[in-house]
Amino acid sequence: MSLLFSPLTLRSLTLRNRLWVSPMCMYSAVDGVPGDWHHVHLPQFADGGAGLIIAEATAVVPEGRISPHDTGLWNDVQREAWAPIVRSIHDRGAHAGIQLAHAGRKASTWWPWAEQRGSVPAAEGGWPTVAPSAIAFQGFADPVALDGAGIEGVVTGFADAARRALDAGFDLLEVHGAHGYLLHQFLSPLSNLRSDAYGGSLENRARLLLRVIDAVRDVAGGAVPILVRISATDHAEGGFTPEEAAIVGGWAVEHGADLIDVSSGGLVLHQQIDPHPGYQVPLAEIVRQGGRVTTGAVGLITTAEQAEQVIASGSADAVLAGREWLRDPHFGLRAAHELGADVAWPPQYLRARWR
């Protein structure tokens, strides 16, 4: 029996397998509203066998968008646009999650295929950015350090977006605390030089993340699972470490998180990363063992055998893939076929199930 295709229960939600679609930004929204692209893009993975599909980093406030074309959940128009996408995922047998995010100092940037790089100027639709400290990401505009009222606004923004996500029908919520975005900026001593209750010690640097988890849990109640994505290392001297990540992961679970989605990097340009197949899986194992928490693994996981081994080895409890789903939206069905797993196929595809 394939462990990858065994169910996983988080609170009241039982996911049909452990091969999930990682949140991936599409930079294709207008005023934060998902459109036709998202209606086709996300449900196709449900037909392809995914157990869980997590929609892209979705801004909880307008200034939290990575780019002007990011999705949002700061108003009810956006909520109503998400609802039919969620229904379509459900109709195809999978569960739907959404990643709630604030980009902090990495907001207001050009999308990947734009000719320009760096921050979008106000004259072309950009906006001022915020951060724990007034330290810019290299090549980006200087951010403003958040004051007390600004921090309260971030917490409220996450809670309000969580409420709209649940109203839209999402089964699961993920708090984005990774990849150099706002909550990660607070966690790392490379970007957080504050001297108040949100800076200095690890406990202080984790305070905003934990407050956000508390606020989202208050909205979600006791039944809805919450995931937290973290970058377990900055891959840079003096930055956030895997050992700290394990501690923070344990704290996150104490505050109501159910699974730590373990990634890495994204905070600074001088990071030193050696990307190779499964290169971030050991980080998920460190957080899983050190924090005694349920984890998801990511990072160049591209084959059925590789994904199965992540689960079988005890390195993580779920596999979140990104690029491989883009290359093959039926990665789940292909993996099940290769592993000989007996899973449900769309009736339209049954002729491809065994031969």
290 class by beta-carbon count within 10 Å (0-12 exposed, 13-18 middle, 19+ buried): middle
Instruction: Determine whether 181 is an active site residue.
Output: yes
Q: Are 337 and 355 in contact (CB under 8 A)?
A: no
Residue 49 CB neighbours (<10 A): 28
Strand partners, 52: 95
Nearest to 338 by CA among 314, 289, 303, 292: 303
Q: Dump the DSSP string for 203-237.
A: HHHTHHHHHHHHHHHHHHTTTS-EEEEEES--SST
Q: Are 54 and 21 in contact (CB under 8 A)?
A: yes
347 class by beta-carbon count within 10 Å (0-12 exposed, 13-18 middle, 19+ buried): exposed
Q: Residue 151 contacts by C-beta under 8 Å, 6 or more apart in sequence? A: 198, 208
Strand partners, 172: 97
Alpha-carbon distances, residue 24 vs 58, 119, 224 (angstroms): 10, 20, 22
DSSP 181: S
Which one of 181, 198, 279, 349 is the catalytic residue?
181
Nearest to 325 by CA among 343, 353, 355, 298: 298
Q: Which residues are catalytic?
A: 181
